[in-house]
Amino acid sequence: MKPLLELKNVCYAYHSRAGETPALKDISFQVRQGEFIAVVGPSGCGKSTLLSLISGLLVPESGSVLFADGDGGGARREVAADSALREKIGYMLQKDHLFEWRTVYRNVTLGLEIQHRLNEENRAKIEKMLRDYGLERFRDARPSELSGGMRQRAALIRTLALGPELLLLDEPFSALDFQTRLAVCNDVSAILHREKKTALLVTHDLSEAVSMADRILVLTKRPAQIQNILELKFEEPGLSPLARRNTREFQEYFNLLWEEMNDHV
């Protein structure tokens, strides 16, 4: 399958008065349509920077981030220079950041409101998602009335409402307690599969990475380089993250990943 996203020799460094902090060095990889990629690496290695670069919030110092949206006839273009392209990339942050001064409904429509795309068609889409993800009863509630899992689902609707072709997830479950986390992880994975989204998940939780991903990108410590790319093959395809956790392969991949990360500390 044609790659949807391609990074070519991407480098990035942060600058401050105290000096230069190289964050990413020579990162190259491809993401295929419909794939679920997990990115793991030591904390502070530049995982979030990677997502910011892919989403176009940051511009690489050298190298390029290329993305092919459906409209472009498969032609890949530079993300940083193309705002129409950036609209095809959804980004979910660590916390849900639902605004307390808006109702749940007005929170999930925030992205559409900003992009002036709050039309009948998109409203209908949002209604359907609210129904599907069990939030319909809470549309006029304040975010503080929702549970942690519901908040995360609301944040996901806010992102999906924009119809992204690629979804960037920056540790979206790390603020949740363990039990909710497993459940929401399952939910989100099911939703992404149903909507056939391509996704890139940054996480520090190795078991989460193994339970959700098709491929795992292992980064070195800062400045991050790609240490290895792990391809996950499960005997039974299409397992939910929870079901994967009970398989033999899960243990093997987990140990493999564990060793991979500890070899290079």
Partner 1 sequence: MYKKTQTAEVRATQLAKNDPENSGTSAAQHSYLRSLRSRQYRIAVIRVLIFAAFLVLWEAAVRLGWIDGFIFSSPSRVAKTFCGMWADGSIFRHIGITLVETLISFACVVLLGVGVAVLLWYNTELSEILEPYLVVLNSLPKSALAPLLIVWLGANMKSIIVAGISVAVFGSILNLYTGFREMDPDKVKLIYTLQGTRRDVLTKVILPGTVPLLISVMKVNIGLCLVGVVIGEFIGARQGLGYLIIYGSQVFKLDWVILSIVILCVIAMLLYGILNLVEQKCLRGREK
What residue ranges bind partner 1 (CB under 8 A)? Answer: 55, 57, 83, 86-87, 90-91, 93-95, 97, 99-102, 110-111, 113-115, 142, 144-145, 158, 162
CB of 95 to partner 1, least distance (A): 6
**Of 15 and 248, CB closest to partner 1:** 15
- Asked whether the beta carbons of 63 and 8 are under 8 A apart, the reply is yes
CB of 93 to partner 1, least distance (A): 6
Give the C-alpha separation, 33 to 166, whole Å. 9
CB of 66 to partner 1, least distance (A): 19
**Of 123 and 215, CB closest to partner 1:** 123
What does the block give as tokens for 146? 């929702």
**Of 41 and 111, CB closest to partner 1:** 111
Give the C-alpha separation, 191 to 65, whole Å. 27
Sign of CA dihedral 64, 205, 256, 2: negative
CB of 96 to partner 1, least distance (A): 9
Which of 25, 84, 31, 28 shows the shortest CA–CA distance to 56? 84
Burial of 83 (0-12, 13-18, 19+ CB in 10 A): exposed
CB of 202 to partner 1, least distance (A): 14
